A and B are shown apart, each in its own frame.
Chain A
Amino acid sequence: MKVLVAVKRVVDYNVKVRAKADGTDVDLNNVKMSINPFCEIAVEEAVRLKEAGVATEIVAVSIGAKACQEQIRTALALGADRGIQVETEGGIEPLVVAKLLKGVIDKEEPQLVILGKQSIDGDNNQTGQMLAALTNMAQGTFASVVEVDGDRLKVTREIDGGLQTLSLSMPAIITTDLRLNEPRYASLPNIMKAKKKPLDVFTPGDLGVEVSKHLTLVKVEPPAERKAGIKVDDVDQLVDKLRNEAKVIG
């Protein structure tokens, strides 16, 4: 079974991102970039499927400028077999990402596609679902358990209030939630080996996709600031403040 994994290059999750002074966009000058944490979980899941003898080949795909090859190499170091970069400029909307990924799927014909449920930059939580619509595949979003069962996929999903288990026909799309697995660290020998693994580059034109724009970023601004309040000395003072000042408890 071939597994396709999508990885995105995003601001590292420890970076506190700020709006530029002129409010035109966020300031990403000289900030650390990493593989999106949910994409890392997606790669880990694919590698575990391969280790379990279920997956035979893992293809890691990223869409973006050349720098995203760094994140493809990370995926290769974690255990993916080869990489594909779709070269694009500037910000690409989830719908276009989904169309480009569909183009890759049409070429590669994987049985399973694993993506992160959201990227921590745009926080959109859309691409996997859109890709499932465009490819007319079943979707198992926010997955916390994935089991291949013959030609079906059993997926346990994180939903409001609990868990839901579905059986999906394959090929299928999975998006990862936090508890699906704990990603490993790449070992130094594997990082060296990853440099020699094949990485193909396509343009949107190669995949027959036109990069369209549906949204315009009008401005960005910091959220309304919360003022730090006061420190109370003890529980008595806390209860008194909540009861008589904030009036939030009876």
Chain B
Amino acid sequence: MSTLVIAEHDNASLSPATLNAMAAAQALGADIDILVAGADCSAAAEAAAAISGVGKVWCADNAAYGNQLAENVSLLIAEVAAPYDNVVAAATTNGKNIMPRVAALLDVAQISDVIAVESADTFKRPIYAGNVIATVQSTDVKKVITVRTTAFDPAPADGGSASVEAIDAVHDAGLSEFISQEIAQSDRPELTAAPIVISGGRGMQNGENFKMLEGIADKLGAAIGASRAAVDAGFVPNDMQVGQTGKIVAPDLYIAVGISGAIQHLAGMKDSKTIVAINKDDDAPIFQVADYGLVADLFTTLPELESKL
């Protein structure tokens, strides 16, 4: 039995999501190799080689893979995956973009957003916005899996000394071209990796009021998120969205401010260790999952909270 983990990286460094995918791969109980596909990605490959428990790092370093275009990278992964029993990637937007394409090339199902590995062929995954957990068994010879990163504690990033082997195969499908990328610059931690997240909902009333969360976020070292309602209302960009169709987070502390608690939002945050809800509506469903609820007007509460932290 053997498993190929697809590294998530920006060519210069590995994304922490790779370590969560690695942990899920370890639960499969097979030998693990890692594929780093990118351009000028040797630093990422070296980092992958240092992960504890990795047998070998395949490094496909070519301009065709530099921007993770699904059309090119999927062809590469499908080829490299040939001798492996499992192909595992994190369910990031990148993993979600590429892996189903890989599965279709291999003519197998993909098992999305796995939260637990029950055995080599049986997995748990949330469906219906996490209202139900399904246990599914795969009958495919090769398992293509994406992993919900919050469900697996990261594997140790060091302690390994795997060899790095270059792959010369170049797959340029010639179907797509990269034009540009805008990544929001922030000194705050990344939403899915932050130990504390403070999120605002429709109750924030406008985008300007989200500034009230920033002071608290700075004091706590927190990331700032939002409910879909706040995104739909145009208060904040979609990359801040926490929920079924946004980001899945599970920080040590989640503070929901002016968020009613629709099931689609709960799907994205209810595995947080401690949940605080601040809402003036005593009946808001968010209080049913909150460890600490404060029924109060957020516009008086937030400045007070910031001053007392």
Contacts and interface: CB of A to CB of B under 8 A. Distances in A.
Interface string A151-170: 00010011111111111110
A215 interface: yes
A205 B102 CA distance: 25
Given A159-B94, A168-B176, A130 B231 contact: no
A216 to B, nearest CB: 5
A198 interface: no
B100 A129 contact: yes
Interface stretch (A49-57, A71-79, A183-191, A238-246): A238-246
A231 B293 contact: yes
Interface in A198-250: 213-223, 226, 228-232, 234-236, 238-239, 241-242, 246, 248-249
A120 interface: yes
B289 A226 contact: yes
Interface residues of B, number: 90
Contact of A124 (B101, B112, B244, B290): B112
Interface string A164-179: 1111110010000111
Interface stretch (A13-21, A62-70, A103-111): A13-21
- Scoring A161, A178, A219 by chain B CB atoms within 10 A of each residue's CB, the highest score goes to A161
B206 interface: no
A217 B133 CA distance: 11
Contacts of A146: none
Contact of A130 (B103, B247, B287): B103
B63 interface: no
A136 B71 CA distance: 8
B182 interface: yes
A126 interface: yes
A172 B103 CA distance: 19
B25 interface: no
Interface stretch (B29-37, B48-56, B81-89, B136-144): B136-144
* Chain A interface residue bracket vs B: 35 or more
Contact of A216 (B101, B136, B309): B136
B291 A246 contact: yes
Binding site secondary structure of chain A: mixed
Interface stretch (A1-9, A81-89, A93-101): A93-101
Contacts of B108: 95, 214
A126 B173 CA distance: 20
Interface of B: 67, 69-71, 74, 92-94, 96-105, 107-113, 122, 126-140, 173-184, 190, 192, 196, 220, 228, 231-232, 238-239, 241, 244-245, 247, 252-253, 263-264, 270, 273-276, 287-296, 301, 304-305, 308-309
18 contacts: A121-B128, A123-B128, A125-B100, A130-B100, A139-B101, A141-B70, A141-B96, A160-B92, A164-B182, A168-B175, A178-B231, A215-B109, A215-B137, A228-B287, A229-B275, A231-B292, A246-B292, A248-B252
Given A38-B245, A142-B93, A164-B67, 10 more contacts: A93-B109, A94-B110, A118-B245, A138-B176, A162-B181, A178-B232, A179-B238, A214-B109, A222-B133, A223-B133
